[in-house]
Amino acid sequence: MTCVPTGRTARLAKTLTARPGTRYKACPSGYAADGDTSGTAWRTGEAVAEMTAEDRGVRRVVKGGIAVGAAVAAVAFATLAALVAVGWSPVVRTDGHVADVLARWMAPRGTAVAALSRISEVFHPTVFRVIAVLGAGWLWWWSRRAGAADPASTRRLALYVLVTVELGGLLARGCKELLARPRPAPVDPVAHATGYSFPSGHAVGVMVAAVALLVAVGSVTGRRPGALWWSGAAVVVVATGFARLGLGLHYLSDVLGGYLLGLAWGLGLAALLRPWAVRPSDGSSAHGRARPPPGGPAGEDRVRRTGSAP
């Protein structure tokens, strides 16, 4: 019998040819039987080696790209924080100009103020923390069920979601205390908030939540998040940042700094914890690739036998 790769497997593995010996009940996940099914066993060592090497290579590329993204975001945040701390005039002028324009535009518009206030409430960092606790709890529960193919990786994803979102708020608060930048003081304020200004806690919280969401979706589904996920996350991130600017509670550099800090934190922990290794219960790999059965004597024991050829 010959097992022919189907779907995504067809692009990643060779046809599994048979050799006389042991007869098995069915082809592995991602393969379809083609031909005589009598008295056969799979010669899978070469295909498995190819799949394993490619899977390892993909994971290295993913981890390397995430680590580079985290490093770039961290350097950008540190640079912006230093410019804010020393009061670099281009940053100060830009912040003041944007704040003045938005203050004049928002003052007579009560409906817009109410809408931005509601956005700030709905996407408050505390909301994301509660969702993170619930999501991490569900992932941990799922990892203990029999259907979870990779419990360790699922628990690692739960830990990533919980630590990233919960500690992101403490990180933002620490940076605020370190820089101690006063909030904007418009002549006719439309909203009030306490604490320091840089970086925006809302911006940090929403960016961390967006990164954690996209990482979790990619890990659980085994595929890159689609355009709908990316677009939804982008809309929420931008809307939250604009709400803080429109209400006169932050400068432009506060929001940008919050985005950079949240991005660096979310990507950095992703590179450290590698939560994308979760596999669905159908036996496919972390990137949605169905694996052929392991070769060799140990692998043969895991394939159901129905008898032996004479």
pLDDT digits (tens, 9 = 90+) for 94-128: 999 998 888 888 776 778 888 999 999 999 999 99
| Residue at 66 is within a domain | yes
| Residue at 286 is within a domain | no
| Residue at 283 is within a domain | no
CA-to-CA distance for 305 and 95, rounded, in angstroms? 71
State whether 36 and 92 are in the same domain: no
State whether 117 and 219 are in the same domain: yes
pLDDT at 143 (0 to 100): 78
pLDDT at 63 (0 to 100): 64
Question: Residue 125 is encoded by which pair of tokens?
Answer: 């960092």
User: In one letter, which amino acid is 75?
Assistant: V
**3-state SS, residue 66:** helix
Question: Residue 106 is encoded by which pair of tokens?
Answer: 């928002």
State whether 183 and 122 are in the same domain: yes
| Residue at 138 is within a domain | yes
Q: Report pTM.
A: 0.71
pLDDT at 7 (0 to 100): 43
| Residue at 261 is within a domain | yes
Q: Count up the domains in the chain and report the number.
A: 2
CA dihedral 220, 225, 226, 232 (to 10 degrees): 110
State whether 31 and 143 are in the same domain: no
| Residue at 300 is within a domain | yes
State whether 184 and 304 are in the same domain: no
Question: Residue 293 is encoded by which pair of tokens?
Answer: 């059965």
What is residue 17's DSSP assignment? -
pLDDT at 56 (0 to 100): 52
| Residue at 51 is within a domain | no
| Residue at 282 is within a domain | no
Spatial CB neighbours of 247, under 8 Å, sequence gap ≥ 6: 106, 113, 116, 117, 120, 190, 191
Residue whose token pair is 């954690």: 212
pLDDT at 209 (0 to 100): 95
State whether 304 and 236 are in the same domain: no
State whether 104 and 251 are in the same domain: yes
CA-to-CA distance for 251 and 197, rounded, in angstroms? 8
Residue whose token pair is 């919280």: 205
- With a cut of 50, which residues of the chain have pLDDT below it? 1, 4-26, 29-31, 36-54, 57-58, 278-310
Range of the domain at 15: 2-44+292-308
pLDDT at 72 (0 to 100): 95
State whether 25 and 140 are in the same domain: no
State whether 26 and 126 are in the same domain: no
Bridging pattern class, strands 2-5 and 41-42: unpaired
**3-state SS, residue 156:** helix
State whether 35 and 170 are in the same domain: no
CA-to-CA distance for 287 and 221, rounded, in angstroms? 8
Question: Residue 10 is encoded by which pair of tokens?
Answer: 């067809």
State whether 9 and 127 are in the same domain: no
CA-to-CA distance for 119 and 262, rounded, in angstroms? 19
Please state, in angstroms and as integers, the Cα–Cα distance from residue 104 to each residue in 99, 114, 189, following that order.
9, 16, 10
CA-to-CA distance for 63 and 219, rounded, in angstroms? 13
Question: Residue 187 is encoded by which pair of tokens?
Answer: 């002549």
- Whether the upstream peptide bond of residue 20 has omega within 30° of 0, thus cis, is no
State whether 7 and 95 are in the same domain: no
